[in-house]
């Protein structure tokens, strides 16, 4: 069976007037079902560019992205929206919950787009909120919750559609360290229960909580391997520059 996510020489160019920014420069990797991968790198290294492509929010300028064997680059806007809805669950730094809707209604949204009937929607949203420990707050509005609780709602919303890939973009970025750890351990639980999780972060201490690290620098992959290897957390170029400052 094909890998779940396959990047083959993926490039992304942004044209700004006369100049071209190379945000992704021949990036290749595969992610198998059930893996927990962190894509890590400093600001501007190309993380969001990769996340947008994996999440079918954008397509490569060059190269190929296969999601579960389907060539995403060949899809039109409607097909991309359909694949997003069927195959991806998103968790954002700022939660992106709708303030006027209660928790049940927020979590039901992806199922509404998928055309799931009302009764089943309710049932599945309820189960997802129970899974993240918020079964007693179903009728609350997001603003009545703490940041960590709001992020748990967004995890429930990401899960409810039974996505093939859960994509989390800086999910702990807005949280204090203790709450951030809780959210991370929830992602680890999802991985343990068989989900495929891709975590995007600039923070090494968060990336090492994953199973595998793909490190980006200037749109290139500079490391791809186990998260617990020492090379996973050094930035070769930064180490190199520090060396030079002292000479």
Helices (H) and strands (E) in the chain, counts: 8, 10
Q: For Mg ion, which is the closer residue by CB, 48 or 235? A: 48
**Would you state the structure tokens that stand for residue 222, as one six-digit string?**
């500079």
Give the interface segment with ligand ATP, choosing from 38-46, 82-90, 112-120, 152-160 (CB under 6 A): 38-46
Assess 172 for contact with Mg ion (CB under 5 A): no
CB of 134 to Mg ion, least distance (A): 28
Nearest to 199 by CA among 97, 72, 57, 92: 92
Nearer to ligand ATP, 83 or 200 (CB): 200
Task: Rule CB under 6 A: say whether 202 interacts with ligand ATP.
Answer: yes
The verdict on 49 binding ligand ATP (CB under 6 A) reads yes
Distance (Å, rounded) from C-alpha 115 to C-alpha 110? 9
Per-residue binder mask for Mg ion (CB under 5 A), 22-61, x = binder? -------------------------xx-------------
Sign of CA dihedral 15, 75, 108, 151: negative
**What does the CA dihedral 110, 115, 119, 121 come to, rounded to 10 degrees?**
-10
Measured between its terminal Cα atoms, the distance across the chain in Å is 52
Give me the residues that bind ligand ATP (CB under 6 A), please.
Answer: 14, 16, 21, 23, 41, 43-49, 202
Residues that bind Mg ion (CB under 5 A): 47-48
């Amino acid at each position: 069976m094909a890998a779940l996510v396959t990047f083959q020489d993926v490039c992304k160019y942004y044209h700004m007037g006369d100049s071209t920014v190379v945000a992704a420069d021949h990036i290749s990797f595969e992610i198998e079902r059930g893996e927990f991968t962190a894509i890590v790198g400093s600001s501007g290294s190309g993380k969001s560019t990769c996340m947008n492509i994996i999440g079918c929010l954008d397509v490569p300028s060059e190269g190929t992205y296969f999601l579960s064997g389907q060539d995403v680059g060949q899809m039109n806007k409607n097909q991309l929206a359909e694949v997003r809805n069927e195959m991806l669950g998103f968790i954002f730094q700022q939660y992106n919950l709708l303030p006027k809707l209660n928790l049940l209604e927020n979590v039901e949204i992806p199922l509404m787009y998928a055309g799931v009937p009302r009764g089943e929607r309710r049932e599945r949203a309820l189960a997802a909120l129970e899974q993240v420990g918020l079964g007693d707050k179903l009728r609350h509005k997001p603003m009545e919750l703490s940041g960590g609780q709001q992020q748990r709602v967004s995890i429930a919303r990401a899960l409810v559609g039974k996505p093939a890939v859960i994509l989390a973009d800086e999910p702990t970025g807005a949280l204090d360290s203790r709450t951030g750890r809780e959210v991370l351990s929830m992602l680890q639980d999802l991985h343990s229960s068989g989900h495929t999780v891709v975590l995007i972060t600039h923070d090494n201490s968060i990336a090492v909580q994953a199973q595998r690290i793909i490190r980006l620098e200037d749109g290139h992959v500079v490391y791809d391997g186990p998260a617990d290897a020492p090379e996973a957390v050094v930035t070769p170029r930064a180490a190199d520059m520090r060396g030079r400052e002292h000479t």
